């Protein structure tokens, strides 16, 4: 009997890419937690922590230790599955990450929200206008392959360095 292969969940595909070093050009994510629960009960499907100073081979390791800053960073993923992404849910997650960032002295963080539903225009507008420099946002629809990124350096790095569209099976990011 042959088992039927299902498409992996978007968080699973994204985590596999991160473990294989997809983020290594911007951060060395070394600790991964699934179904991470915060103090108030909020659950993140994936929480990864690391530092910006990566470990490399001789010359790159020397360069990293002498030139690059050693910031603490984190990545948070939420899989809303068949639920529509709401503005209140997104704001609550941002508040949680802001609190975690202050408590853990994180220099910056990413928040990526996956949903099988299409992205509502109000969410796309909010995310694309988000410009606080310490948090990069991305909202992705796994059905339409649409990705919306925040308009800050950390947000733009989600596609450039983490290659979120690759996890969705797409070729290129399409912003609205």
Record the tokens describing residue 149, joined without a space: 């990124």
Q: Is residue 114 part of a domain?
A: yes
Q: Is residue 122 part of a domain?
A: yes
**Residue 49 sits in which domain range?**
10-167
Q: How many domains does the chain have?
A: 1
pTM of the model: 0.82
Q: Is residue 173 part of a domain?
A: no
Q: Is residue 5 part of a domain?
A: no
Would you say residue 117 has pLDDT above 80? yes
Q: Is residue 39 part of a domain?
A: yes
Would you say residue 7 has pLDDT above 60? no
Would you say residue 169 has pLDDT above 80? no
The residue-averaged pLDDT of 150-160 equals 87
Specify the 3-state DSSP secondary structure of 44.
strand
Record the tokens describing residue 83, joined without a space: 């639920």
Q: Is residue 61 part of a domain?
A: yes
Would you say residue 3 has pLDDT above 70? no
Q: Is residue 175 part of a domain?
A: no
Q: Is residue 3 part of a domain?
A: no
């Amino acid at each position: 009997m042959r088992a039927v292969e299902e498409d992996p969940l978007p968080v699973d595909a994204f985590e596999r890419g991160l473990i294989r070093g997809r983020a290594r050009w911007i951060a060395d994510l070394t600790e991964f937690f699934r179904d991470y629960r915060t103090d108030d009960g909020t659950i993140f499907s994936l929480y990864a922590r690391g530092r910006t100073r990566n470990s490399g081979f001789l010359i790159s390791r020397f360069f990293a230790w002498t030139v690059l800053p050693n910031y603490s960073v984190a990545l948070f993923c939420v899989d809303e599955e068949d639920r529509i992404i709401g503005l209140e849910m997104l704001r609550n997650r941002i508040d949680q990450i802001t609190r975690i960032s202050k408590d853990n002295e994180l220099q910056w963080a990413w928040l990526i929200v996956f949903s099988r539903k299409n992205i509502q225009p109000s969410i796309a507008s909010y995310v694309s206008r988000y410009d606080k420099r310490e948090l990069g946002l991305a909202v992705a629809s796994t059905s339409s392959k649409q990705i919306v990124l925040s308009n800050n350096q950390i947000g733009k790095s989600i596609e450039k360095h983490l290659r979120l569209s690759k996890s969705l099976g797409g070729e290129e990011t399409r912003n609205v």
